[in-house]
Amino acid sequence: MVIKRKEFLQIGSLATASFMLPKFLKAFEKPMRVPPGNKVVVVIQFSGGNDGLNTVIPVRNDIYYRERPKLGIAKNEALILNDETGLNPALEAFKGLYDEGSLAIMNNVGYPNPDRSHFRSMDIWHSASESNQYVNTGWLGRYLDAQCKGCDKPTQAMELDDILSLALKGDDNKGLAFKDPKKLYNTSNGRFLKDVNADHKPGEETVDYLYKTMSATLNSADYIYQQSKAHPTSQLYPNSNLGKDLKTIASLIFSDINTKVYYVSLGSFDTHVNQNDQQKRLFTELNDAVKAFTTDLKNNGRFNDVLMMTFSEFGRRVTQNASNGTDHGTANNMFFISGGLKEKGLLNAMPDLSDLNEGDLKHKVDFKNVYATVLNKWLGADDKMILGNTFSHLNFI
Where do contacts with other proteins occur on this chain (CB under 8 A)? Answer: 1-2, 47-49, 117-120, 123, 132, 134, 136, 154, 161-165, 169, 174-179, 187-189, 192-193, 195-196, 199-201, 203-207, 209-211, 213-214, 216-217, 220, 241, 265-273, 278, 281-282, 322-323
| Contact status, residue 97 vs residue 303, Cβ threshold 8 Å | no
Which residues fall within 8 angstroms of residue 103, CB to CB, at 6 or more apart?
A: 94, 97, 335, 336, 337, 341, 344, 345
**Closest approach of other proteins to the CB of residue 177, in Å:** 4
Determine the length of the chain. Answer: 397
For residue 268, whether the previous peptide bond is cis, meaning omega lies within 30 degrees of 0, is yes
**Closest approach of other proteins to the CB of residue 132, in Å:** 8
Nearer Cβ to other proteins (299/357):
357
Position 315: which residue type? G
Nearer Cβ to other proteins (110/339):
110
C-alpha closest to that of 169 among 136, 133, 205: 136
DSSP helix/strand/coil, 370:
helix
Nearer Cβ to other proteins (314/371):
314
Nearer Cβ to other proteins (90/372):
90
Q: How many CB atoms lie within 10 A of CB 174?
A: 22
**Closest approach of other proteins to the CB of residue 3, in Å:** 9
Nearer Cβ to other proteins (160/318):
160
**Closest approach of other proteins to the CB of residue 228, in Å:** 17
Nearer Cβ to other proteins (26/191):
191
**Closest approach of other proteins to the CB of residue 58, in Å:** 24
| Contact status, residue 85 vs residue 350, Cβ threshold 8 Å | yes
**Closest approach of other proteins to the CB of residue 261, in Å:** 15
| Contact status, residue 374 vs residue 41, Cβ threshold 8 Å | yes
Nearer Cβ to other proteins (23/70):
70
Q: Is the dihedral of CA 5, 6, 7, 13 positive or negative?
A: positive
d(CA 103, CA 233) in angstroms, rounded, equals 24
Nearer Cβ to other proteins (23/201):
201
**Closest approach of other proteins to the CB of residue 285, in Å:** 9
**Closest approach of other proteins to the CB of residue 126, in Å:** 11
- Sequential DSSP letters for 26-78: HGGGSS-PPPTT--EEEEEEEET---GGGTEEETT-HHHHHH-TTTPPPTTTS
d(CA 55, CA 86) in angstroms, rounded, equals 8
d(CA 124, CA 131) in angstroms, rounded, equals 6
| Contact status, residue 316 vs residue 71, Cβ threshold 8 Å | no
